Amino acid sequence: MTERVYLDHAAGAPLLPAARNAMDAVWGLPGNPSSLHTAGRTARRLLEESRESLAECLGASPTEVVFTSGGTEANNLMLLGAAGARPGRPRLAIGGGEHPSVAGVVARLPGRVDVMPLAAFGRLVDGAEATIGAETALASVMVVNNETGVVADLDAVLARAGEVGAWVHSDAVQAFGHLPLNFAALGVDAMTVTAHKLGGPVGIGALVIRRELTLAAPGFGGGQERRIRSGTAMTALATGFAAAARVAVGDLETEAARLGELRELLVRGVVSGVGDVRVNGEAPTSPAILNVTFRGCRADDLLLMLDAAGIDCSTGSACTAGVHQPSEVLLAMGRSVDEASASLRFSLGRATDSAVIEKVLAILPDAVNRARAAFG
C-alpha cells in the first residue's frame, strides 16, 4: 500500500513521540489533582509542573495559564466571560474571517457584536479598529488565520483598545509552534492556544489571560482553573501538551525556515504546473499554511480526487449534511462565491519534506483537470 501524504496539520498534527512518552508515564497514576491525599498531591504536582513548562514556552506566568479542553472552549470562555464581566460595556468586536468558535458569538449575542472587515489580502482593512469603542468589552483578532495563514497586524487594534479601555484577545492556535509567540511581548490581554495543532494530544488547550482580569464564568462547578473553568483537571493531557510545546519551541526557528522553503516550493509548483489559480493571502503568512483557489472546479471534488490518490488536505469551507458551503473567510476577503467554493488548504508539518511536495505536484495537475471537467 502506498504511503499517504498528510497535508492537514492545521486541522490536527500527528502526536509527537515526546508527548506520547510524557503521557504514558502518567496515564496509570491515580489521584484527582484537587484531592489532598498523596495521590492527589502527586497529580497536582504533575499538573502544575506542566503549567509552568507551558507558561515558559509562551512567555507567560504560570498563574496566567488556564487549561481548557481545547481552542474552542478557550475562545468561548474569553468571549462570553468578557461580555458578562464588564458593566457598561455590552459590546464585543471581532475580526472578519475568525474561527467559528469566535465568529459564532455573533449569533450567540445578537446585536452586540461588531465585525471588523477584512481586506482582499487577508488582514483587517485600514481603519477597522475604529469599530472598537467605549462600549466594547473585548476585541478579538486571531494572530494567524486558520484558513489562509495570514499573520495579523495587531498594532492598530491594540492602540485603539488601549485608548478606549477595551480588552484584546487573540486566537493564537495556528501561530503557536510555527511563529515566535510571547504573551507578554504580544501585548494582548488574553490569547488562546491548543495542543493538537503542534503534535500534542487532542482534548486540551489553554486560555492565557492576564492575572488581574476577572471573567464571568459561563459554566459553574468547582472552579478548578482560576474560577474561569470548572471540571477535574486533565493531568496526563497537560503533560503531553507541555512536552509537545517544548519540542515546538525548541527548534522553532529552524523548523519554520524549513517549512517556509517547502511552502514556497509548493506555491511555485502549483502556479506553474496547474494554471488559473490564486494564492489567497498576502505575506507575511505562516510557513505552514497555503490556501489556493483552483478556478473552474469545486473544492470538494478536487479534495476527493486527491484523497483517492493518497493525499490528505482540506477545503477551507464547512460542509453540513453534505451541502457544500463556500469559505466564510474567503467571502470576508471579498472573493466571489465561486472562488470561495474552489479553494483548498494545504498545511505542512514535521513529516512534510521535499518528496511529499513533489508527489503532490505530480498528482495535482491531473486531479485539477478532472475536477474542472466534472464541474464543467
**Catalytic residue ranges:** 319
Q: CA 224 to CA 235: how far, in whole Å?
A: 13
Count of beta carbons in the 10 Å neighbourhood of residue 171: 30
Q: Which residues contact 127 (CB under 8 A, 6 or more apart)?
A: none
Q: For 60-79, give one letter per residue: b (16+ CB within 10 A) or e.
A: bbeebbbbbbbbbbbbbbbb
Cell representation of residue 268? 511555485
- The full length of the chain comes to 376
Cell representation of residue 159? 492602540
Residue bearing cell 462565491: 337
**Distance in angstroms between the alpha carbons of the first and the last residue of the chain:** 33
Cell representation of residue 97? 474571517
Q: Which residues contact 165 (CB under 8 A, 6 or more apart)?
A: 134
Report the candidate in 50, 47, 65 with the shortest Cα–Cα distance to residue 184. 65
Q: CA 273 to CA 141: how far, in whole Å?
A: 35
